[in-house]
Structure formats: C-alpha cells, structure tokens
C-alpha cells in the first residue's frame, strides 16, 4: 500500500469524526461572529501573552550574550517585547485598533501591488484573476479603513470567526468526499 492509499483509507475510516469536527467548528465560528468584539480582545490577550513570553526568552538570550554591543541590542529588544506585551494586554482595545489600522494599510498595499502585477501580466492568460484579488484586497482595505477606529474593535475577531467557519466547512466537505471515496 502506498502513502496515498494509506491516507485515503484513514480518511475513509475517520470521516465521521471529521464531519463532527467540521460541524462543531462551523457552529463555534458562527457564535464567534456574534462575539467579534470579545474575540478581538481574546486575540489581543493572546498576542500580548506571546510577546511577554518572547520577552522572557529574549531575556535569557540577553543574559547568555557576552560582549558589550550585543548585550545592549539584545537588552533593547527584550524591553521592546516586554513593553509591547504589557501595552497589548493592558490596552487591548487600543491594540486592536492599531493592528486593524496596520491590516487596512497592508491590504491596500497588497492590493495595489497585485493590481500592478496583473496589469504588467496582461498578455498572459489568467491576469484577470490576479487583478480581481488585487481589487478585492483594495476594497477590503478601504472598507476597514473607512470604518476605523470602530472597525478596530471587531474586525480581528470577525476574521478569526470567519477562518474557523471556513475550516469547519472544509472539514465537512472533506469528510463527505472521504466517505464516498
């Protein structure tokens, strides 16, 4: 039995579990859509916690460094991680708004670059799909930015919820396909 046959057999054997997991994720994601503000706050606490843990790891790295200049730079990095973690945890709404603003700017930039790539690729088949994704990114960036700062209170949570829903539907569809394989 080759690897693909093994995977197919395992998926066929476990399709029911995948279906249940997918349904649970769709339900949780849908609930999350109604709690986007709280999901955004939870995401900020999670990011802040990661930054605090990162500052601890960076502190250990700093203490292991021997040599004046490197110790100074590693110490500054440690302090930046620590400060960022504390700010994100103590001011999660402001952190969410700041990250949302960065997301809007990133989407606008990505959309402009993709659109430029599409225009430069016009002789090639499929360039329209690249343009469509570029314009979609610009549209999303403008929608987020036009509602900012209010969007900063819920957009990250909404995106997390949508991702959970998408993963749930992927598992549901995959389970159905695995069952009939």
How do residues 84-136 score in pLDDT, each as one tens digit?
A: 999 999 999 999 899 899 989 999 999 999 999 889 888 788 888 889 988 99
How many Å apart are CA 181 and CA 178, to the nearest integer?
5
For the range 75-79, what are the long-range contacts, defined as Cβ-Cβ under 8 Å and sequence gap of 24 or more? 79/55
pLDDT reported for residue 68 = 66
Report the pLDDT value the prediction gives residue 69, as an integer from 0 to 100. Answer: 65
Residue with the larger pLDDT of the pair 160 and 9: 160
pLDDT band with cut points at 50, 70 and 90 for residue 17: confident
> HSE on the CB side for 52, CA within 13 Å?
12
Residues in the chain: 181
Integer Cα distance of 111 and 144 in angstroms: 13
Note the pLDDT of residue 89: 95
Residues contacting residue 39 through CB under 8 Å, at least 6 positions apart: 32, 156, 157, 158, 160, 161
Looking at the predicted structure, is the pLDDT value of residue 5 above 90?
no
Look at residue 24 in the predicted model and tell me its pLDDT. Answer: 96
Average pLDDT, the chain: 88
* Distance, CA of 144 to CA of 36 (rounded, Å): 14
Q: Report residue 67's pLDDT band, with 50, 70 and 90 as the boundaries.
A: low
- Count Cα neighbours of 2 within 13 Å in the Cβ-side half-sphere: 1
């Amino acid at each position: 039995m080759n690897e693909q046959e093994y995977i197919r057999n395992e998926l066929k054997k476990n399709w029911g579990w995948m279906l249940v997991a997918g349904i649970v994720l769709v339900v949780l994601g849908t609930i999350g859509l109604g709690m986007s503000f709280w999901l955004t706050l939870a995401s900020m606490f999670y990011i802040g916690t990661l930054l605090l843990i990162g500052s601890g790891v960076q502190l250990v790295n700093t203490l292991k460094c021997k040599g004046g200049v490197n110790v100074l730079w590693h110490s500054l990095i440690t302090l930046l991680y620590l400060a960022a973690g504390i700010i994100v945890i103590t001011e999660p709404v402001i952190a969410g708004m700041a990250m949302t603003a960065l997301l809007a700017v990133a989407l606008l930039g990505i959309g402009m670059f993709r659109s430029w790539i599409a225009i430069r690729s016009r002789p090639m088949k499929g360039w329209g799909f690249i343009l469509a994704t570029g314009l979609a990114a610009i549209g999303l960036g403008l929608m987020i930015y036009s509602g900012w700062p209010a969007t900063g209170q819920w957009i990250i949570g909404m995106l997390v919820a949508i991702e959970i829903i998408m993963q749930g539907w992927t598992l549901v569809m995959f389970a159905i396909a695995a069952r009939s394989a």
